[in-house]
Copies of this chain bind each other. A is one copy, B any other.
Amino acid sequence: MLFHVRMDVHLPPDLDEAVRADLIAREKAYSQRLQRAGCWPHLWRIAGEYANYSVFDVGSIDELHDLLAGLPLFPYLTVKVTALATHPSKVVAG
């Protein structure tokens, strides 16, 4: 089941440098774990912004929410989720 997600990151510019680096490192590790597990098939950087478009592939909405709420950066994120249905013109598997 596919969900489109936009994430905007709002890290305070005056955040302690070590805290920032640790957050970003843990976020990357967490994200790459999910990507390798196959539930985060698409992840793109929105050009010019500290934001991304992603597509998640999950078994339930609760699973989606737990994955997103578990992001180390979650407290600093604005997140918009959109449920994706199969498009009638789609020729190849998503």
Contact = CB atoms under 8 A, between A and B. Distances in A.
A81 B83 contact: yes
Given A81-B83, A86-B62, A91 B35 contact: yes
A10 to B, nearest CB: 9
Interface residues of A, number: 50
A45 B82 CA distance: 10
Interface string A41-80: 0111111111011010000111011101100000110011
Given A2-B61, A32-B89, A47-B85, 20 more contacts: A1-B61, A4-B46, A13-B75, A31-B89, A32-B91, A43-B89, A45-B85, A46-B81, A46-B82, A46-B83, A47-B81, A47-B82, A48-B65, A48-B81, A49-B80, A50-B69, A53-B84, A62-B86, A65-B85, A66-B85
